[in-house]
């Protein structure tokens, strides 16, 4: 590209200190070939022609111009340097590399003007010194914003069509899967690592334990964050962006969903190597906050006493739950209550599923009748007392409409009922006890008298 036509326009910029800003989203790179490298080459040549002193390159890769500017890391670094007045001018290739949002543009423009910093485009001609120039920028930004919205919508439609057909929109796939002819399939070489990851977490309920286990067995290093991301990646159950049949499932969907609930109760390895059996599982019914485990040490007898208390009372005095329950007493309560609670849980579910659910249209028909009553009352055909009584009657019918609950796999709970829990449980370490309860229980609800009012299960 020839830049001689810019010399007359930008005579005053020679020898100035310049910041070169580059931005490219993955979609733009794929569709238009407007790559990071291309922009860098254009800006480097422009700087050479105009004898600019390049202070730094600021490169935002994978960020759209519609994304909030404070989310663009390099843009924010450049803004900090602008406030420190480390350069005199900012250069980018085109206006749409800068902003496609009028409101954000003027926020940044105010900062730049405060520090006497101007900007210009290497491949277009814009100026903000005159009213006409500012109007031109405003119009162009508005058009660019509209174009960005339309392009984004088109890309989303294309990507969603590909996903609905099980086609990949990028070559990147998580461990355990591979790309074969644009489709995600199970990678037989790495799938065992993923299966072991899920299995070990389900048994131990600890992400850190998973990292240590994989390192020992496979010499495979993985961070706790990566373990968490893999456990949450729905592609392992064959689903992606609403398509439940996107690819073969490595983990059964019901099991995957159950592990998402179990993940909330991840066991943390403490420096004291102390495990609280019910951490995150016990909730106060008075304030709906989790009850916190605490250890009291009696140094005279070298004994530890673990108890659970409601901190909303003990720390803030905003709850009525004053009593502390010791961990052994809570264990005894749960062991005595667990099987009856499971039986009641299963029975409630079976009653709900056996009750014929009313049509979804029934509620809307009843609401339509309420609206008709309102019209009659407004037009004076019925008195207020009659209107209120009939409306209340219809509302009671709407409230009584039952909806069939989502299907659940209760097999793990039914199998649990067959176990000799006492003998099994007494042989567990505190860590194993923690993992054991976290594998089936979502919440244990304790009232002010430290009695179990209900138990909610993961299944």
Select from 3.40.1390.30, 3.40.50.1390, 3.40.190.10, 3.40.50.1820 the CATH code of 4-150: 3.40.50.1390
Label residues 18-44 b or e (16+ Cβ within 10 Å = b).
bbbbbbbbebbbeeeebebeebeebbe
Q: Would you call 457 helix, strand, or coil by DSSP?
A: strand
| Residue spans per domain, the chain | 4-150, 177-263, 282-350+409-457, 358-400
Residues facing 298 on adjacent strands: 303
Residue 89 contacts residue 82 (beta carbons within 8 Å): no
What's the pLDDT at 273?
A: 60
Residue 36 contacts residue 28 (beta carbons within 8 Å): no
Residues facing 186 on adjacent strands: 177
| Torsion region of 283: left, alpha or beta (phi above 0 gives left; psi -120 to 50 gives alpha) | beta
Q: How far apart are the first and last CA of the chain?
A: 64
What's the pLDDT at 2?
A: 46
What's the pLDDT at 252?
A: 93
Q: Any idea which fold 177-263 has?
A: Hect, E3 ligase catalytic domain fold (3.90.1750)
CA–CA separation, 252 and 176 (whole Å):
14
CA–CA separation, 451 and 42 (whole Å):
72
Q: What is the mean pLDDT of each run of 10 residues along the chain (459 residues)?
A: 49 82 70 77 90 92 70 91 94 82 81 89 73 73 69 71 82 89 92 94 85 92 92 94 91 90 67 75 92 87 88 90 94 93 88 62 77 75 81 81 67 85 86 84 93 90
pTM for the model: 0.48
CA–CA separation, 68 and 256 (whole Å):
34
pLDDT tens track for 74-88: 999 999 999 999 999
What's the pLDDT at 25?
A: 74
What's the pLDDT at 458?
A: 82
pLDDT tens track for 323-382: 999 999 999 999 999 999 999 988 888 877 766 555 556 777 888 888 788 777 767 778
Length of the chain: 459
Give me the helices (H) in 8-126, please.
26-32, 36-49, 73-83, 95-98, 102-114
Contacts of the segment 402-408: beta carbons below 8 A, 24+ positions apart: 402/352, 402/355, 402/357, 402/358, 403/357, 404/352, 404/353, 404/357, 405/349, 405/352, 405/353, 408/349, 408/459
Q: Among all chains, which residue has been given the structure tokens 């291309």?
A: 38
């Amino acid at each position: 590209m020839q830049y001689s036509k810019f010399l007359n326009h930008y005579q005053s910029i020679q020898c100035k200190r310049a910041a070169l800003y580059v931005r490219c989203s993955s979609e733009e790179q794929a569709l238009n070939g407007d790559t990071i490298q291309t922009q860098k080459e254009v800006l480097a040549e422009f700087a050479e022609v105009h004898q600019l002193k390049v202070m730094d390159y600021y490169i935002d890769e994978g960020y759209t111009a519609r994304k909030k500017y404070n989310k663009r890391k390099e843009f924010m670094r450049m803004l900090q340097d602008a406030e420190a007045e480390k350069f005199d001018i900012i250069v980018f290739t085109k206006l749409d590399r800068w902003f496609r949002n009028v409101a954000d543009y003027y926020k940044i423009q105010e900062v730049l003007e405060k520090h006497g910093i101007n900007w210009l485009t290497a491949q277009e001609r814009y100026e903000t010194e005159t009213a006409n120039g500012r109007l031109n920028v405003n119009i162009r930004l508005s058009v660019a914003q509209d174009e960005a919205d339309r392009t984004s919508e088109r890309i989303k439609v294309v990507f969603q069509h590909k996903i609905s057909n099980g086609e990949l929109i990028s070559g990147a796939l998580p461990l355990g899967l591979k790309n074969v002819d644009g489709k995600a399939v199970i990678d037989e070489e790495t799938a065992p690592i993923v299966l072991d990851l899920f299995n070990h977490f389900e048994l131990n309920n600890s992400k850190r334990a998973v990292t240590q286990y994989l390192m020992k067995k496979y010499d495979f290093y993985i961070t706790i964050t990566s373990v968490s991301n893999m456990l949450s990646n729905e592609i392992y159950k064959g689903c992606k962006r609403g398509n439940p049949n996107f690819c073969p499932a490595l983990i059964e969907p019901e099991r995957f969903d159950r592990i998402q609930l179990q993940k909330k109760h991840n066991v943390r390895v403490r420096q004291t190597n102390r495990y609280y059996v019910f951490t995150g599982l016990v909730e106060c019914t008075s304030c709906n906050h989790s009850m916190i485990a605490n250890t009291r040490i009696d140094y005279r007898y070298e004994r530890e006493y673990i108890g659970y208390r409601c901190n909303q009372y003990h720390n803030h005095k905003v709850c009525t739950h004053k009593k502390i329950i010791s961990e052994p007493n809570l264990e005894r309560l749960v062991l005595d209550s667990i099987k009856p609670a499971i039986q009641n849980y299963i029975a409630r579910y079976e009653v709900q599923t056996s009750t014929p659910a009313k049509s979804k249209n029934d509620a809307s028909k009843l609401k339509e009748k309420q609206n008709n009553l309102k019209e009659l009352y407004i037009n004076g055909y019925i008195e207020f007392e009659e209107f209120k009584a009939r409306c209340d009657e219809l509302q009671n019918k709407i409230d009584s409409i039952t909806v069939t609950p989502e299907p659940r796999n209760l097999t793990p709970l039914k199998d649990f009922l067959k176990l000799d829990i006492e003998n099994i449980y007494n042989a567990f370490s505190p860590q194993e006890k923690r993992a054991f309860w976290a594998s089936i229980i979502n919440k244990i609800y304790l009232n002010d008298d430290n009695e179990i009012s209900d138990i909610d299960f993961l299944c």
